[in-house]
Amino acid sequence: MKKKIIILGSTGSIGTQALEVLQQRKDSFSVEALTAGENAELLVQQAKAFKPKVVVIANEQKYAFVRQALDLSIEVLAGAKALEEVVQRQADMVLTAMVGYAGLVPTVKAIESGKDIALANKETLVVAGDLITKLAKQYGVQIVPVDSEHSAIFQSIVGETHNEIEKIYLTASGGPFRGQDLNFLQNVSKAQALKHPNWSMGAKITIDSASLMNKGLEVIEAKWLFNLNPSQIDVIVHPQSIIHSIVQFADGSMKAQMGLPDMKLPILYALGYPKRIISDFPRFNFMDYPQLTFEKPNTKVFRNLQIAYNALEKGGNMPCVLNAANEVVVEAFLNDKIRFLDMPNIIEKTLDRVEFKTNLTLQQYIETDKESRLIAHSLL
């Protein structure tokens, strides 16, 4: 039996790479539904190649284009509500590859319909980790992380169910500005920030990587995925991006998951879980990497990482505020409205201005996100 997959965000970086993986393994998987936000042209190409039962274009103004371009055997839907509805269709797993907060509600609906989740949308757990983990337990849903770091931790603890995790180390490449000081960062351009040394990712995640906010968001995500305290999660800069993350157990022994920096590896693992699927991806050669090095992150220069830790320590709605403010400032930076070092300042001020709340419902998370965005926009 083929495993039936729904992909939320099929035209983004993770979505397109996932389809490349699935293209090679049509014997093992079938694509049931594809969704996109704006890129109607690519969505149409993907639909013609994979023949899903249904596609969704979130931008309703592009519905007519998609409907006209596809034959009637493929159902075409549009709008945010359609994203929530399509994840409840028949399938075995939903790959949540949408970028940012937009992935939260569709992921909730997928969990409530009993689908296992291949989670590439870290913001879902950052915003509402308490709610998501409770729902996953309630509906008996498995969440398999796609982020390379969290996939590494997940792979390292398979078979270790009854063994206590003492600590985890999330590795970070350091991004394009590793080793630079505040003076250098004063006037960096978005073109510089978008030149990641190791990974091929979308613009938003690449900027987050340059500011180390991506690692901050991953720290929060790891807390919920692996039921850890903030003090059990450490970040270490590893410029070669070969060791994707490390688990340290109660006896002091450590497990690391290694591989070339290629997102197709964790994507394939998540889609195939619990089975490892044969691939023809390039293999790692130790002689190509005679040295693996490690450094401590500089949180005085890259303040976003410490700000994320602070939000996690406080808990409640603070990570939701953090994420909303970060999405606003990254968009502003990409549109040349603010400078690189303005981002942490605005995020910190937004966190100070939103009222602290705990035990939130989904609706309260939605309201917190909206309020935080308004405040962050006012600070630009």
189-217 per-position pLDDT tens digit: 999 999 877 766 778 989 999 999 999 99
Structure-block tokens of residue 144: 């398999």
Residue 2 neighbours by CB under 8 Å, 6+ apart: 27, 28, 29, 30
For residue 21, name the pLDDT band (cuts at 50, 70, 90): very high
Q: Write the CB contacts of 283 (distance below 8 Å, at least 6 apart in sequence).
A: 260
**Residues 157, 159, 162, CA angle at the centre, nearest 5°?**
85
Q: Of 3-7, 38-42, 192-196, 341-345, which range is least confident? A: 192-196
The pLDDT score that the predictor gives to residue 200 is 64
pLDDT band with cut points at 50, 70 and 90 for residue 334: very high
49-61: b (≥16 Cβ within 10 Å) or e: ebebbbbbbbbee
Contacts of residue 90, defined as CB under 8 A and 6 or more positions apart, other chains included, come to 4, 32
Structural tokens at position 286: 């130790």
Examine the pLDDT at 326 and tell me if it is beyond 70: yes
Burial of 258 (0-12, 13-18, 19+ CB in 10 A): middle
Side chain identity, residue 93: M
Q: DSSP per residue over 271-328, as a string?
A: HHTTSPPP--PPPP-GGG-S----B---TTTSHHHHHHHHHHHH-TTHHHHHHHHHHH
| Residue 116, strand partner residues | 93
List CB contacts of 299: < 8 A, sequence separation 6 or more: 212, 305, 306
Q: What pLDDT does 148 receive? A: 95
Give me 289's structure tokens: 């990497």
Could you report the per-residue pLDDT of 240-258, keeping only the tens digit for each?
999 999 999 999 999 999 9
Quote the pLDDT of residue 218. Answer: 97
Distance CA 292, CA 239 (A): 8
Amino acid at 333: F
Asked whether the beta carbons of 50 and 41 are under 8 A apart, the reply is: no
Task: Report the percent of the chain where pLDDT is more than 70.
Answer: 99
299 neighbors 305 (Cβ within 8 angstroms): yes
**Which residues, including other chains, have CB under 8 Å from residue 361's CB and lie 6 or more apart?**
131
Mean pLDDT of the chain: 96
| Spatial separation of the C-alpha atoms in residues 176 and 163, rounded to whole Å | 37
Write down the residue that tokens 């987050």 correspond to.
208
How confident is the model over 337-360, as pLDDT tens digits?
999 999 999 999 999 999 999 999
Give residue 100's pLDDT band: very low, low, confident or very high (50, 70, 90).
confident
Is the pLDDT at 141 greater than 80? The verdict is yes
Residues 6 or more apart in contact with residue 204 via CB below 8 angstroms: 99, 100, 327, 330, 331, 334
Give residue 198's pLDDT. 72
If DSSP codes are grouped into helix, strand and coil, which group holds residue 31?
Answer: strand
Q: Which domains does the chain have, with CATH numbers?
A: 3-145 (3.40.50.720), 150-314 (no CATH)
**Cβ atoms of 270 and 95 closer than 8 Å:** yes
CA distances from 79 to 82, 105, 241, 324 (A): 5, 13, 38, 21
Query: Residue 63: what pLDDT?
Result: 97
Cα torsion through 279, 268, 98, 168, rounded to 10: -130
Least confident window among 33-42, 129-138, 190-199, 262-271: 190-199
Amino acid 202: pLDDT: 79
* The two three-digit tokens of residue 252, written as one number: 């002091």
- pLDDT-based confidence at 129, cuts 50/70/90? very high
pLDDT tens, residue by residue, 260-311? 999 999 999 999 999 999 999 999 999 999 999 999 999 999 999 999 999 9
List all residues 6 or more positions away from 46 whose beta carbon is below 8 Å from its beta carbon. Answer: 10, 11, 19, 34
**Cα-to-chain-centroid distance, residue 365:** 18
CB 70 within 8 A of CB 81: no
Which one, of 141, 159, 184, 153, lies nearest residue 269 by Cα?
Answer: 153
pLDDT at residue 199 in the model: 65
Amino acid identity of residue 171, one-letter, is T
What is the per-residue pLDDT for 99?
A: 84
pLDDT value for 197: 74
